[in-house]
């Protein structure tokens, strides 16, 4: 542990929680918002729930908090079922999207509020609140009202309030979405710092993939109430389990080409070009998905596809080219020094990492890349 604050803070509470969801479901009227979720969140980890809006990520979080009551399944905290346990008895702290600070109370009063609700003596509550304010570096603003604070300072106050009761589990509901880009970066690092200092199990809901990728130990990617993949962020990027995961992560998004698998190659639809790949299936349709950065300008003697350059954008250190392969437009990262112009016909090699095959329904197809390239 890196500071005194933390040692004093967690020596008494000390329990970091393991969270388990079993068949957790939520139905609103006739919409299934969360569909039989099963997963385990290890203690002391920061886990993000990522997904497009309406995927059920906030609903899942609100169920963990006890604000929503699930319509099916169980949430277990350290093996104990939380069904019917009210939010205040779950040992959680939560930070809301719009911070939900009490506007008529000062920063210090806000942080003390959960302590006072537990009848902690005034003096002790005050000390604890100050300690928390120090931890999130807003102790110099202790007597301000939320209206007099910047977005980032409000965010810090909300975090301090959530931490004040020494929760075993910390929940964040899209906490950075109301901040501007620069502050978002700063608060992201701040949350990570605090989480690592305290080693408190943390669940972080966001729709921003970059946020989730940068902050988390593991990411839960959801769509339509169903978990698509649950893994460390880099693994999710490198080894997507389905086409949705592959296409949701990455910016610019992964390139998709229609193709069909036949003896040792995938032929690309609308072209006479193909990629040497060993995969099961005969004349089976498939989707070829290639990350923009998996392309590179190839030499004559290695495997390549031939494309027509339509547009070249240079943005700082990057060069993005839009190229046409068959009828399909692809976005491709090229090296800065590559001499490529619109109208050129060029050869593109493909790195094996960043190349994926899926069925048209989006399921992963196992394969063996069998092409030769200089840059693997």
Q: Which residues bind another protein (CB under 8 A)?
A: 28, 62, 65-69, 86-88, 92-94, 96-100, 102-104, 113-114, 117-118, 161, 165
Q: Which is nearer to another protein, 51 or 114 (CB)?
A: 114
Q: Which is nearer to another protein, 93 or 233 (CB)?
A: 93
Please state, in angstroms and rounded to a whole number, the distance separating the CA atoms of residues 332 and 293.
6
In three-state secondary structure terms, 129 is helix
CB 192 to another protein: min, Å: 22
CB 73 to another protein: min, Å: 15
Please state, in angstroms and rounded to a whole number, the distance separating the CA atoms of residues 307 and 342.
11
Strand partners, 123: none
CB 13 to another protein: min, Å: 15
Q: Which is nearer to another protein, 112 or 229 (CB)?
A: 112
Listed in sequence order, the residues at least 6 apart from 311 whose beta carbon sits closer than 8 Å to its beta carbon are 321, 322, 342
Strand partners, 267: 260, 274
Of 207, 202, 212, nearest in space to 92 by CA:
202
CB 178 to another protein: min, Å: 12
Cis amide linkage into residue 252, ω under 30° from 0: yes
Which contacts (CB < 8 Å, 24+ apart) does range 76-81 have? 76/19, 76/20, 76/21, 76/22, 77/17, 77/18, 77/19, 77/168, 77/169, 78/15, 78/17, 78/18, 78/168, 79/18, 79/20
Q: Which is nearer to another protein, 101 or 332 (CB)?
A: 101
Q: Which is nearer to another protein, 68 or 296 (CB)?
A: 68
Q: Which is nearer to another protein, 99 or 248 (CB)?
A: 99
Q: Which is nearer to another protein, 165 or 304 (CB)?
A: 165
CB 158 to another protein: min, Å: 8
Kind and range of the H or E element at 287? strand 284-290
Beta strands at 218-223 and 46-50: parallel, antiparallel or unpaired: parallel
CB 108 to another protein: min, Å: 15
CB 254 to another protein: min, Å: 35
């Amino acid at each position: 542990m890196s500071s005194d604050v933390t040692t004093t803070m967690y020596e008494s509470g000390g329990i970091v929680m393991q969270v388990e969801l079993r068949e957790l479901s939520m139905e609103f009227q006739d919409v299934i918002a969360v569909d039989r979720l099963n997963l385990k969140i290890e203690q002391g980890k920061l886990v993000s729930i990522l997904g497009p809006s309406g995927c059920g990520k906030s609903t899942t979080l609100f169920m963990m908090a006890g604000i929503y009551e699930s319509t099916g399944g169980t949430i277990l905290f350290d093996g104990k079922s939380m069904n019917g346990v009210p939010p205040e008895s779950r040992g959680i702290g939560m930070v809301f999207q719009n911070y939900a600070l009490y506007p008529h109370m000062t920063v210090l009063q806000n942080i003390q509020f959960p302590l006072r609700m537990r009848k902690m003596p005034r003096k002790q509550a005050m000390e604890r609140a100050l300690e928390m304010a120090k931890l999130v570096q807003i102790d110099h603003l202790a007597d301000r009202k939320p209206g007099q604070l910047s977005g980032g300072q409000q965010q810090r106050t909300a975090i301090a309030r959530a931490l004040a009761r020494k929760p075993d589990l910390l929940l964040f509901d899209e906490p950075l979405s109301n901040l501007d880009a620069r502050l978002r970066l700063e608060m992201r690092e701040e949350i990570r710092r605090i989480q690592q200092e305290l080693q408190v199990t943390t669940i972080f809901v966001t729709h921003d993939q970059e946020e989730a990728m940068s902050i988390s130990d593991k990411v839960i990617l959801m769509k339509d109430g169903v978990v698509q993949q649950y893994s460390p962020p880099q693994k999710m990027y490198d080894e997507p389990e389905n086409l949705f995961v592959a296409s949701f992560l990455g910016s610019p998004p992964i390139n998709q080409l229609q193709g069909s698998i036949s003896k040792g190659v995938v032929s690309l639809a609308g072209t006479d070009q193909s990629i040497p790949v060993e995969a099961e299936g005969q004349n089976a349709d498939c989707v070829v998905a290639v990350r923009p950065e998996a392309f590179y300008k190839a030499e004559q003697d290695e495997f390549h596809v031939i494309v027509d350059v339509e547009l070249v954008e240079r943005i700082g250190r990057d060069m993005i080219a839009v190229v046409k392969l068959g009828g399909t437009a692809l976005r491709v990262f090229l090296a800065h020094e590559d001499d490529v112009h619109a109208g050129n016909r060029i050869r593109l090699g493909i790195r094996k990492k960043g190349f994926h095959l899926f069925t048209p329904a989006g399921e992963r197809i196992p394969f063996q890349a069998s092409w030769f390239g200089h840059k693997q």
